[in-house]
Amino acid sequence: MGRIVFFCSEAFRALRRSAAPSVAAIVTIVVTTLLLGVLVPVLRASESKASEVRDQIGLEVFLYRDATKAETDALQKELNGIPHVTEARFCSPECAKKQLAGELEGDLAGSISELNSNPLPPSFDLALDDPDNLESVRAALLPPNSSGKPTPISRAIDPPIGQDRENATKIREVTGAVKIVLLVIAALLLVASLLLVANTIRLSIYARRREVEVMRLVGATNWFIRWPFMIEGVVVGLAGAAIAVGILLLGKVTIVDPLADDFALVDNLSTMGFVPLVAMLVAAAVCVSALGSGITLRRFLRV
């Protein structure tokens, strides 16, 4: 017990006595925590948006209007058997009409109801496990016949299939690139902030290496020397994280929340809750700071 008090008082003495390096370490942690606190939700939101767009890519198979019920049932079974197809949903002409009515806006919206007959064909909407498998599913639907010409697997299918595949490919490529770029940015940021914090801590300990040398000379064990530095690291990490979280909270209340009220867009993005975000940031700041101190000391503690 007396030891713990002693270690804590040593840590606070060091913080008081070397105020400049301590403040530098705290400021570094505030800046990097803030950076992560803003960018992690933004990156997560962009990532989820990109995934959403990708997931909408599917394949529509149009049928002849005179396809019989038996033919469509048989075809549905066959479609479900194709690898990478997660769902084959039948859409009757009525369903297609309703869908179209839902997509149209303004003047055109009413025009659907003015139609005398329904010109839309029935279709199957195929959902895929991954948009990258679009081509292989398309190939499975159109196997080449004996003369090498692609032929639909069922008489009911009205070729061609997947006419808009150029668009699909573009979306696939763009969202894929966006995901990779976001991942790279996140990784770079994480590495940069870790290095920045580690370097600041290194500097503040390096400034006191003579002190560590003297402690070793009078017979202090490694943990006796290390504990005050670790406690100091925890205090610095906590202080930095607390300030950063305060600023983040201020930003959330004054900027993000009013925006979320006005625009559904900001609110709708599937990002992360404030509490888990704060918990993650505080834990990261404290761990990096305390472990940084402990590990940096190692090189001065060799006996």
Is residue 2 near other proteins by the rule CB under 8 A? yes
Contact 157, 63 (CB under 8 A): yes
Place of tokens 């038996």: 70
138 token code pair: 């398309």
Say which amino acid occupies 229: F
User: Taking CB under 8 A as the rule, does residue 203 contact other proteins?
Assistant: no
Shortest gap between Cβ of 234 and other proteins (angstroms)?
Answer: 20
Is 1 a binding residue for other proteins by CB under 8 A? The answer is no
How far, in Å, CA of 303 to CA of 153, rounded? 77
Residue 211 CB, nearest approach to other proteins (Å)? 6
Q: How many helices (H) and strands (E) does the chain have?
A: 12, 3
Output the smallest distance, CB 10 to other proteins, in A: 9
Give least dist CB 300 to other proteins, A.
7
Among 185, 202, 222, 242, binds other proteins (CB under 8 A): 222
Of 10-18, 68-76, 80-88, 241-249, the window that binds other proteins (rule: CB under 8 A) is 10-18
Window 260-299: contact mask with other proteins (x via CB under 8 A): --------------------------------------xx
State yes or no: residue 209 binds other proteins (CB under 8 A): yes
For residue 6, state whether it binds other proteins (rule: CB under 8 A): yes
| Shortest Å distance, C-beta 4 to other proteins | 13
Q: Which is nearer to other proteins, 90 or 206 (CB)?
A: 206
Rounded Cα–Cα distance for residues 75 and 240 (Å) = 62
Applying CB under 8 A, among 215, 231, 282, 284 the residue interacting with other proteins is 215
Query: What number of chain residues touch other proteins (CB under 8 A)?
Result: 26
Element (H, E) at 86: strand 85-91
Q: Round to whole Å and give the CA distance between 86 and 104.
A: 28
DSSP string computed for 260-294: HHH-HHHHHS----HHHHHHHHHHHHHHHHHHHHH
How far CA 162 is from CA of 61, 141, 143, 191, 240, in Å, comes to 7, 10, 14, 43, 54
Residue 58 — φ and ψ, nearest 5°? -145, -165
- Report the nearest approach of other proteins to the CB of residue 296 (Å): 12
Residues near other proteins (CB under 8 A): 2-3, 6, 13-14, 17-18, 209-211, 213-222, 224, 298-300, 302-303
